[in-house]
């Protein structure tokens, strides 16, 4: 069979879904059914996990009062209150500490920096599976890093034990209208071949700056044309959430 008659291997429903991802911040007043939520979390559970440790947990919050409290602790982001379900994705070594720990010399190695990384990555992989599953069912999501703004208070509200911390939140619900797709860096800006090609970094950022300026002009109705690099200058000008290290140490993470 000739190449012309074969289906394009880079075009299928899954890829089309992934390429249409956009953060959703406006939601319909429509509940997410328990069966739908179970399907989304079930898909999350099938994500890759280091050595099958499955070192994460997710807390689903639907109570309006509790969502309001979480919103206040996360930068007063209104969509936390407006979405029907707010998910908090947690790195979780407590479960393993309680079940495997008693059988291990000196309680095991749950306090190492490596296992902190493993748990954090596990949570992120599971969450992204959930995001794709949700979008395949017609729902939308937006990640909320703001759960780390007042992380100790938020952890207390959620009853998080030692060796559990909230990595991020995720608003979940049915979108109220279409959301704009934000362009990403050029492929050649992130794909390196054989070695890190640092000599091409600046050129690829310059290309992306032009794309991001056009996007911002369109998004703002001509009021803003800030390039991506300028946004990143502002983003990294001052440190943020410097309480994180002390908090993580207090929860038993990264002791060695």
H or E stretch at 185: none
The reported pTM is 0.93
Do 159 and 77 lie in one domain? The reply is yes
Yes or no: say if 112 and 256 are a contact pair by the CB < 8 Å rule.
yes
Q: What is the pLDDT of residue 3?
A: 44
Domain membership flag for residue 5: no
Do 29 and 142 lie in one domain? The reply is yes
Between CA 35 and CA 18 the distance in angstroms is: 23
Do 143 and 154 lie in one domain? The reply is yes
Yes or no: say if 129 and 44 are a contact pair by the CB < 8 Å rule.
yes
Residues contacting residue 146 through CB under 8 Å, at least 6 positions apart: 74, 75, 77, 169
Domain membership flag for residue 144: yes
Yes or no: say if 130 and 87 are a contact pair by the CB < 8 Å rule.
yes
| Domains identified in the chain, total number | 2
What is the extent of the structural domain holding 196? 182-251
Phi-psi region of 238 (alpha: psi -120 to 50; beta: other; left: phi over 0): beta
Q: What is the pLDDT along the chain (256 residues), one digit of tens a residue?
A: 344 445 566 789 999 999 999 999 999 999 999 999 999 999 999 999 999 999 999 999 999 999 999 999 999 999 999 999 999 999 999 999 999 999 998 889 999 999 999 999 999 999 999 999 999 999 999 999 999 999 999 999 999 999 999 999 999 999 998 888 999 999 999 999 999 999 999 999 999 999 999 999 998 899 999 999 999 999 999 999 999 999 999 999 999 9
Do 80 and 187 lie in one domain? The reply is no
Domain membership flag for residue 7: no
> Looking at residue 71, which CATH number applies to its domain?
3.40.109.10
């Amino acid at each position: 069979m000739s190449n012309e008659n074969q289906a394009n291997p880079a075009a299928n429903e899954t890829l089309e879904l992934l390429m249409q991802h956009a953060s959703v911040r406006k939601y319909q007043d429509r509940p997410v059914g328990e069966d739908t939520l179970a399907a989304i979390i079930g898909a999350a559970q099938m994500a890759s996990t280091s050595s099958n440790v499955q070192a994460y947990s997710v807390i689903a919050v639907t109570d309006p009062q509790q969502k309001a409290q979480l919103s206040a602790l996360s930068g007063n982001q209104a969509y936390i209150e407006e979405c029907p379900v707010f998910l908090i994705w947690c790195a979780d070594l407590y479960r393993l500490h309680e079940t495997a720990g008693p059988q291990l010399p000196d309680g095991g190695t749950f306090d190492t920096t490596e296992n902190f990384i493993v748990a954090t990555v596990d949570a992120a992989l599971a969450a992204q599976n959930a995001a794709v599953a949700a979008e395949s069912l017609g729902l939308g999501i937006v990640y909320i890093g703001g759960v780390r703004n007042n992380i100790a208070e938020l952890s207390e509200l959620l009853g998080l034990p030692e060796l559990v911390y909230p990595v991020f939140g995720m608003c979940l619900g049915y979108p109220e209208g279409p959301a704009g797709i934000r362009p990403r860096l050029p492929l050649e800006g992130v794909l390196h071949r054989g070695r890190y090609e640092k000599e091409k970094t600046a050129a690829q950022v310059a290309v992306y700056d032009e794309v991001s300026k056009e996007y911002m002009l369109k998004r703002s109705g001509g009021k803003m044309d800030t390039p991506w690099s300028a946004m990143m200058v502002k983003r990294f000008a001052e440190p943020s959430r410097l309480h994180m290290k002390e908090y993580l140490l207090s929860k038993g993470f990264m002791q060695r």
